Amino acid sequence: MYIAGFFCVLLFTAVSSIAGNISLIIFDEFATHTLKYDKLTKGPIATLFWFTVFWAWIIIYGQLVYLSNKHDLPGDGTTEHHM
Sequence ranges of the domains in the chain: 1-36, 44-69
Dihedral (Cα; 15, 16, 18, 23), 10-degree rounding? 140
Which string of DSSP letters, residue by residue, matches 18-47?
HHHHHHHHHHHHIIIIIS--GGGTSSHHHH
pLDDT > 70: what percent of the chain?
A: 86
3-state SS class at 79: coil
Indicate the range of 13-27, 34-48, 55-69 predicted with least confidence.
Answer: 34-48
- pTM of the prediction? 0.60
